[in-house]
């Protein structure tokens, strides 16, 4: 399949991809303020354990202060690593929608045992461009699967 894109569409798609990658990087670096700044003031994250519409959300986090507190929760892990995969985006002027695949790795100690949890997640995103910068307006985080097991450091 061939996809024809206008030059500005390519630039917007690259800017949105940079936004997605910055979110993962700031999460892994525990830069909660910078991570929250990637969102509009009234943005929200809605977390699901299955496809939206099949079950009610597990939780909804809305607004800058709530986002900051949620991002700080990642500090309970010794280390995380988010690896973004394929990403689709549909542009509509200063708004866009997208879907992002991600493998989220979490490591911590539990009862003296190192634990690794890998989550296969997806995001349904709504983006808005404000003052020339793309931001998240909403992220629906869908947990497709989780694998938790003892891990040995190498």
Q: Model confidence over 18-40: pLDDT tens digits?
A: 999 999 999 999 999 999 999 99
What are the boundaries of each domain within the chain? 7-150
Q: What percent of the chain has a predicted confidence (pLDDT) above 90? A: 91
* pLDDT at position 32: 96
Q: What is the pTM of this model?
A: 0.91
Quick one: fold of 7-150?
Nuclear Transport Factor 2; Chain: A, (3.10.450)
- Residue 5: pLDDT above 60? no
| Helix, strand and coil in the chain, % to nearest 5 | 25, 55, 20
pLDDT tens by residue, 78-91 = 999 999 999 999 99
In angstroms, the CA 69 to CA 64 distance is: 9
Residue that the structure tokens 């097991």 belong to: 149
């Amino acid at each position: 399949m061939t996809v024809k894109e206008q030059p500005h569409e390519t630039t917007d798609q690259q800017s949105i991809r940079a936004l997605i990658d910055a979110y993962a990087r700031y999460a892994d670096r525990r830069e909660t303020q910078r991570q929250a700044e990637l969102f509009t003031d009234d943005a929200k994250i809605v977390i699901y354990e299955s496809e939206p519409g099949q079950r009610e959300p597990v939780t909804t986090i809305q607004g800058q202060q709530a986002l900051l507190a949620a991002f700080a929760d990642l500090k309970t892990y010794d280390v995380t690593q988010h690896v973004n995969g394929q990403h689709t985006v549909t542009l509509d002027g200063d708004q866009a929608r997208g879907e992002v695949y991600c493998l989220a790795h979490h490591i911590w100690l539990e009862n003296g045992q190192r634990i690794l949890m890998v989550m296969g997640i997806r995001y349904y995103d709504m983006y808005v461009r404000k003052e020339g910068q793309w931001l998240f307006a909403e992220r629906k985080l869908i947990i497709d699967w989780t694998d938790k097991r003892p891990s040995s450091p190498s």
